[in-house]
Structure 1
């Protein structure tokens, strides 16, 4: 029985509505590398980590270091130019308000910390979170590593923490640390792939917040 007291939110594809622009940037960059017919549906179907495997699948061949560099540079340039036009998910603020009445909240993203800070401030969300963490430093940490560090920084206990995200990677990171997870089918992976994890899957953030509350109330009973 759990009494959930904290939610760790994912950012891209969860609170931030950026799936379509991320997919389109990826499709444009893949076309420049000789894969001109990739669709948005294929992007969502094949997305996974490590990204080298994901890009290799979409290219139809092993992605080289030069390919990965091109894809990363193209993404950074195009996303950076457009990111301030990206909206929050339509029900993001409502969902945050629903959860705030019952639990503390933090945000963990694999996006660069500086970029994340600018977007959080432009949307006026900073006061809603006890901690906002993106990627900083060197190397390529996994979501598991980042989530573990995040939980340690906040002294979160596994039995009272739930992650809300949009990918299998989010679910696997939470599961590996003994955390609960709720997945929302608005981001990088299709609903059928998310449901294959066995985690609860919802269509929007309002439903995710409601499910969190109902799970929390059941745990208290």
Structure 2
């Protein structure tokens, strides 16, 4: 494996606290009790509107997803200011670079915000390409974005390892014929990650063992 495609939210960027608090803020008007991280992981899935329906116990009404998603991001973009990179994110990026490997970043977060945040941490030089959402509705699946990302890079999927925190990252890797390792620091429960049959790690450093 000579190329790593990193996920951002919940992987390189340790934002689980902001995600849970923003979600609780969105659901407060519905009278639902607050989730902690493990409780949130138990109901989390993608597409995210499916998780919201699971949490409410009913289908979303017309326009309800859009309102909830806008509210979530309003809260998230405030709360994320308290978050930072995963503890071993920088050292892992540097270690893979020393190994002579290439790496890129693919996120389902808004592209402009993603590139600004990556630049803020001074880590953009580690990536040959950084892609976030441009025009697609947020909250959906990553597979087609992965197709476009690898095509733009011009890399063979057989030479790619995807490192992410969700089952959706696993599906995106499988969709293009890449390998994947899944990290427990994000929004998905260990049980759901293990159920994919893919390797599951507790640190980003350990993920490099599969590269």
TM-score (norm 2): 0.93
Cα deviations by residue, 1:44-81 (Å, 9 ceiling, x for unpaired): 11211112211000112212234312321212211222
Which residue of 1 is the match for residue 154 of structure 2? 155
1:116 aligns with 2:114: yes
Of the three residues 50, 56, 69, the one matched with 1:72 is 69
Which residue of 1 is the match for residue 25 of structure 2? 28
Structure 2 distance, partners of 1:139, 1:48, is 16
Which residue of 2 is the match for residue 127 of structure 1? 125
Q: CA deviation at 1:85?
A: 2.9
Moved more, 62-71 or 118-127: 62-71
1:166 aligns with 2:165: yes
5 Å matches for 1:134-213?
A: 134-139=132-137, 142-212=141-211
Contact 2:102 2:128 in 1 (8 A): yes
| Runs (5+) with no aligned partner, structure 1 | 213-221
Kindly tell me: are residues 125 and 37 of structure 1, through their superposed partners in 2, closer, same or farther at Cα, counting changes over 3 Å? closer
Which secondary structure state, in structure 2, belongs to the residue aligned with residue 13 of structure 1?
coil
Contact 2:10 2:165 in 1 (8 A): yes
Structure 2 distance, partners of 1:139, 1:66, is 13
Structure 2 distance, partners of 1:165, 1:153, is 20
Contact 1:24 1:40 in 2 (8 A): no
Alignment length (residue pairs): 209
Which secondary structure state, in structure 2, belongs to the residue aligned with residue 163 of structure 1?
strand
Cα deviations by residue, 1:90-134 (Å, 9 ceiling, x for unpaired): 000011111112310000000001110111011001111000000
Which residue of 2 is the match for residue 86 of structure 1? 83
Which secondary structure state, in structure 1, belongs to the residue aligned with residue 113 of structure 2?
helix
TM-score (norm 1): 0.89
| Runs (5+) with no aligned partner, structure 2 | none
Cα deviations by residue, 1:134-180 (Å, 9 ceiling, x for unpaired): 00024456300000000000011011111000000000110111100
Kindly tell me: are residues 210 and 94 of structure 1, through their superposed partners in 2, closer, same or farther at Cα, counting changes over 3 Å? farther
